[in-house]
A and B are shown apart, each in its own frame.
Chain A
Amino acid sequence: MKGNSYFSRKLHSLVGIIPLGGFFIVHALTNFQAFERGPEGFQNGVKLINSLPLLPVLEFILIYIPLLFHGIYGLYVAFQSNSNLGRFKYGRNWAFTAQRITGVITFVFVFWHVYQTRFQVYIGNISHEELGSTMHKIATDPLIFVLYLIGVLAATFHFANGLWAFLISWGITVGERAQRISSKICMGVFVVVAVLFILSLVGFRGNEFKEVADAVMAVRSIL
C-alpha cells in the first residue's frame, strides 16, 4: 500500500485542490483588483501577498513543489489515457478529454507565465511594483493577449472540472444526482472564475497601467 499508484494518484488529486486550487482562486481575486480598483488596488494585492511571513518558503511548499508534482504526474496520467470521443460523444467523456488537453495547455502556459512575471522579479529585471506594467505590456500585445486568454480559460476549465472529479475521487459525491448537481455547480465556478480572469486581463489593458509604467520608466531613466 506504500508508494503505489493509488497513493500517488490520491496525492495528485488532493494537491489539485489544496493548495493549488486555493492559490488559483486567490490569484484570480488578486488579479481582479486590477479591474475593480485599478493599478493601486492591484498594487495593494501584490503588497499584501509580499507581506506574508516566510514568503519564499510558502511559495515553494504551497506552489512550486505541488505544481511540479501535479503537473508532471498529470502529464503521465494524460499519456495513459485514450480519447474515444469519436465513438462515445457524451458530455462527460468530452470533459474527460478536455481535462487532459487543458492540463497540457496549463502546463505550458504556467511555465511561460511564471517566466514572464515572477521569474523576472527573481532575476532582478523588474521589481514587484513593476508587475502591473509588465502585465499591461502583456495584455496590450494582441497575440500575447489571445494566448493568455486561451491559457486562462484552459486553466479555469481544468480547475472547475477537476473540482468535480475531486469530489468523486474522494467519495464525497457518490450518487448520480449528487454528481449531476455538483457538475452544475462546478460549471458555475468555471464561469465565475473565467470572468474574473478575463476582466483582469481587460483591466491590465487600461491606460492607467501604462501611465504607471511610464512613471517607472521615467524614474529609471533619471537614475
Chain B
Amino acid sequence: MAESTVASKTVTFIITRQDKPDSEAYTETFSIPYRPNMNVISALMEIQRNPVTAEGKKTTPVVWDSNCLEEVCGACSMVINGKPRQACSALVDQLEQPIRLQPMRTFPVVRDLVINRERMFAALKKVKAWIPIDGTYDLGPGPRMAESKRQWAYELSKCMTCGVCLEACPNVNDRNSFIGPAAISQVRLFNAHPTGEMNQDERLAALMEDGGIEGCGNSQNCVRSCPKGIPLTTSIAAMNRDTTKLLFKKWLGV
C-alpha cells in the first residue's frame, strides 16, 4: 500500500501460519491500520483485504474460522497472546502489542488458524450428550424440571464446544486419551434433565471407559479459561461422585 502522509496508528500482529495440515509452521508479521473498537477478526479481515506483511512482502491471506461473531458459536477459538480464547470477542484495545495469534495446537491444524475440532463432537457422541425422546408413538410430556435446577443447568448449557478447555488442559495431548472437560460437563447437564436422567447410567458408563473422566488431573486450568464461565471443575467432581457411586452399585449388583 502507498505510504500514507498522515502518521496513522498501526497494530502489529505476529501470526503463526501453516499452509497444509502436515507442513511446517512459520510466522509472519503484519502491520495494519488501527481503527477504534477493532477486534482480532476485523484485523484478520483487514489482512485478507491486503495480504502484505510488515516487511512489504505480498503473501497469501491468513485463513481463520468464524461464524457468529458474538462469542456463541466457538468457531473462532485461537491462541491470542498465549491464551486460548475467541478471536471475535478479543478487542484489540485490550491486548498487548504485538498481538500474537496461533492455532490451538491441541487440535489438528487444517491451515493457519483453522483447526479441526472433530474430536469434541466425537466425545459428545461417545457420552450420548442428547436426550432420547423419539418413539413410534407420542410419548406425552416429560417430567417437569425444577426452576432452581434449570437455572444452574442453564449455565452448563452455555458450552459452545469451542475447545478452549481442551487447549488449556495439560492432560489433553497425544500421549493421553483424556476426553476433556467439555464432554464431562455435558454429561452432568443431560443427567440433570428430568428426562435425560432416565439414561444417566449410559452416559456415566461412557465416562468410565478408557480415556474417560479418570484422565482429569485437577490442574483446573479449564475452569479458569472457559469463556462462558462454566463451572467445569464442579461438573468433573460431581461426575466423579456419580461414576464412583455407579462403580459400587455395579460391584454390589444393586
Contact residues of A between 122 and 179, Cβ < 8 Å to B: 164-165, 168-176, 179
B234: contacting residue among A77, A80, A175, CB under 8 A: A175
Measured between C-beta atoms, what is the minimum distance from B108 to chain A in Å? 17
Quick check: is A90 within 8 A (CB to CB) of the other chain? Answer: yes
Quick check: is A6 within 8 A (CB to CB) of the other chain? Answer: yes
**How far is A219 from B171 in the complex, measured between Cα atoms in Å?**
57
Provide the residues of chain A in CB contact with B231, threshold 8 Å.
Answer: 176
Task: Pick out which of these stretches binds chain B: A43-51, A81-89, A113-121, A207-215.
Answer: A81-89
- Residue in chain A with minimal CB distance to B246: A1
| A170 pairs with B224, CB closer than 8 A | no
**How far is A90 from B233 in the complex, measured between Cα atoms in Å?**
14
Known pairs A6-B209, A81-B170, A88-B168; A174 contacts B237 (CB<8 A): yes
How many residues does chain B have at the interface if contact means C-beta atoms less than 8 Å apart? 40
Provide the residues of chain A in CB contact with B250, threshold 8 Å.
Answer: 1
Task: Pick out which of these stretches binds chain A: B21-29, B130-138, B211-219.
Answer: B211-219
B208: contacting residue among A1, A77, A173, A176, CB under 8 A: A1
| A92 pairs with B220, CB closer than 8 A | yes
Quick check: is A109 within 8 A (CB to CB) of the other chain? Answer: no
Known pairs A6-B243, A90-B221, A170-B240; A80 contacts B171 (CB<8 A): yes
**How far is A9 from B219 in the complex, measured between Cα atoms in Å?**
16
Quick check: is B158 within 8 A (CB to CB) of the other chain? Answer: no
| B221 pairs with A88, CB closer than 8 A | yes
Provide the residues of chain A in CB contact with B244, threshold 8 Å.
Answer: 10, 170-171
- Residue in chain A with minimal CB distance to B235: A174
**How far is A152 from B55 in the complex, measured between Cα atoms in Å?**
56
Known pairs A88-B221, A93-B170, A165-B218; A173 contacts B237 (CB<8 A): yes
| A81 pairs with B171, CB closer than 8 A | yes
Question: What are the interface flags for B184-215 relative to A under an 8 Å C-beta threshold, 1 for contact and 0 otherwise?
Answer: 00000000000000000000010111111111
Question: What are the interface flags for B38-68 relative to A under an 8 Å C-beta threshold, 1 for contact and 0 otherwise?
Answer: 0000000000000000000000000000000
Contact residues of A between 64 and 116, Cβ < 8 Å to B: 77, 79-84, 86-88, 90, 92-93, 96-97, 99
Query: Which has the most chain A C-beta neighbours within 10 Å: B168, B210, B220, B231?
Result: B220
Provide the residues of chain A in CB contact with B224, threshold 8 Å.
Answer: 88, 90
Quick check: is A4 within 8 A (CB to CB) of the other chain? Answer: yes
Provide the residues of chain B in CB contact with A84, threshold 8 Å.
Answer: 168, 170, 221
Known pairs A1-B208, A88-B168; A171 contacts B220 (CB<8 A): no
Measured between C-beta atoms, what is the minimum distance from A158 to chain B in Å? 13
- Residue in chain A with minimal CB distance to B207: A6
Provide the residues of chain B in CB contact with A1, threshold 8 Å.
Answer: 205, 208-209, 247, 250
- Residue in chain A with minimal CB distance to B209: A4
- Residue in chain B with minimal CB distance to A87: B82
Measured between C-beta atoms, what is the minimum distance from A109 to chain B in Å? 22
Quick check: is A5 within 8 A (CB to CB) of the other chain? Answer: yes
Contact residues of B between 154 and 185, Cβ < 8 Å to A: 168, 170-171, 173, 175-176
Provide the residues of chain A in CB contact with B211, threshold 8 Å.
Answer: 5
Quick check: is B228 within 8 A (CB to CB) of the other chain? Answer: no
Quick check: is B145 within 8 A (CB to CB) of the other chain? Answer: no
Measured between C-beta atoms, what is the minimum distance from B173 to chain A in Å? 5
Known pairs A1-B250, A96-B170; A6 contacts B214 (CB<8 A): yes
Measured between C-beta atoms, what is the minimum distance from B164 to chain A in Å? 11
Give 8 new A-B contacts, CB below 8 A, not counting A84-B168, A170-B244, A171-B237. A6-B207, A79-B175, A88-B219, A88-B225, A96-B218, A171-B244, A171-B245, A175-B237
Identify 9 residue pairs between A and B in the complex whose beta-carbon atoms are under 8 Å apart, listed by A's number: A80-B171, A84-B221, A88-B225, A92-B218, A92-B220, A96-B170, A165-B217, A171-B242, A174-B238
User: Which B positions have Cβ atoms within 8 angstroms of A?
Assistant: 82-83, 168, 170-171, 173, 175-176, 205, 207-215, 217-221, 224-225, 231, 233-234, 236-245, 247, 250
